[in-house]
Amino acid sequence: MKIYLNGDLVEEQDAKISVFDHGLLYGDGVFEGTRIYNGRVAFLDEHVDRLFESAKVLDLTIGMTKEEIKDATIETCKANGLKDGYIRHLVTRGIGTLGLNPYLCKQASVIIIAADIQLYPAELYENGLKIITAGTIRNLPEALNPRVKSLNYLNNVMAKIEAINAGVMECLMLNSQGYVAEASGDNVFVVKGNKLITPPSWCGGLEGITRNKVMELAANIGLEVSETVMTRYEIWTADEVFLTGTAAEVISVIELDKRIIGDGKPGEITKKLIEAYRQFVNNNGVEI
């Protein structure tokens, strides 16, 4: 596998960074996860825009233009002959001293990995996902805003540990006020009648690119879509619940904390949106 590392395509075993890189020392950096479908990169502009926005919040200078990052992405996909897969963009603060000061790091490191993707088993798309509510609350937007896709993902890792230890693969994360924020690596949606709701990102979630597309697709099939503050009341009383994310796409949630949601199987609206999303990503994107 060839990895893009600071302007070069290098073999995986040569793709190394310094132990003095602040990405490692402090989780100081940003990332993106993007999919390749049918020889096309899905939502490349959106992911690169979010990468730059996350970097901007951290006052991290990437040292490449958006166009250069996009060209490097396509080049990396080509070098690995990928038709379907997953791209991880990483921008770290770069090499510095054993001190927090990011301004002593001269140059950011830019890494692009294009690889195969590990997906949820197909069976879970047929039957739905069981999740728990994590005790770990989502990072406060007033502190490290969850809209920043930073290399410090410990908040989500802590929640994921709870999910796995409870025997499930995902979890719901609440914010400090008890409102629903998102899942550890996905956004959350509730269907009730003809209404589709998802929390606004100020409740403590990433503004998911899948989420935004699904809101558009849902409006196209006649649903009344809104960003609404919600508690678990909305989930307990929902007709359908589903998660969205680059890796998961759209996936039904059928249980929360062992309590059945709706009628305990993927609902008709969720199924329609799974299909509409797959249709979209298989027919759009930037050609490799």
What residues line the site for ligand PXG (CB under 6 A)?
33, 156, 182, 185-187, 205-206, 208-211, 244-247
Beta-bridged to residue 133, according to DSSP, are 172
Residue 105 or 129 with smaller CB distance to ligand PXG: 129
What six digits make up the tokens of 253? 């949630």
As a whole number of angstroms, the distance between CA 264 and CA 124 comes to 13
Closest CA to 57 of 171, 139, 134, 112: 139
Residue 21 or 170 with smaller CB distance to ligand PXG: 170
Q: How far is the CB of 163 from ligand PXG (least distance, A)?
A: 12
Question: Quick check: helix, strand or coil at residue 200?
Answer: coil
As a whole number of angstroms, the distance between CA 198 and CA 214 comes to 11
Residue 141 or 205 with smaller CB distance to ligand PXG: 205
Closest CA to 177 of 134, 235, 131, 231: 231
Residue 182 or 234 with smaller CB distance to ligand PXG: 182
**Could you confirm whether 149 is annotated as catalytic?**
yes
What six digits make up the tokens of 80? 């690995």
Q: How far is the CB of 48 from ligand PXG (least distance, A)?
A: 12
Tokens 């999303």 belong to: 277
Exposure string for 256-268, b = 16+ CB within 10 A, e = fewer: beeeebbeeebbe
Q: How far is the CB of 245 from ligand PXG (least distance, A)?
A: 4
What six digits make up the tokens of 240? 């359908």
As a whole number of angstroms, the distance between CA 56 and CA 167 comes to 38
Name the active-site residue from 2, 56, 66, 149: 149
Residue 18 or 58 with smaller CB distance to ligand PXG: 58
Provide the 8-state DSSP code for 117: -
Instruction: State which residue has the least CB distance to ligand PXG.
Output: 33
Q: How far is the CB of 158 from ligand PXG (least distance, A)?
A: 12
Which helix H or strand E contains 10, and what residues bound it? strand 8-11
Q: How far is the CB of 52 from ligand PXG (least distance, A)?
A: 14
Beta-bridged to residue 287, according to DSSP, are 40
Is the torsion defined by CA of 41, 45, 48, 50 positive or negative?
negative
Q: Which residues are catalytic?
A: 149
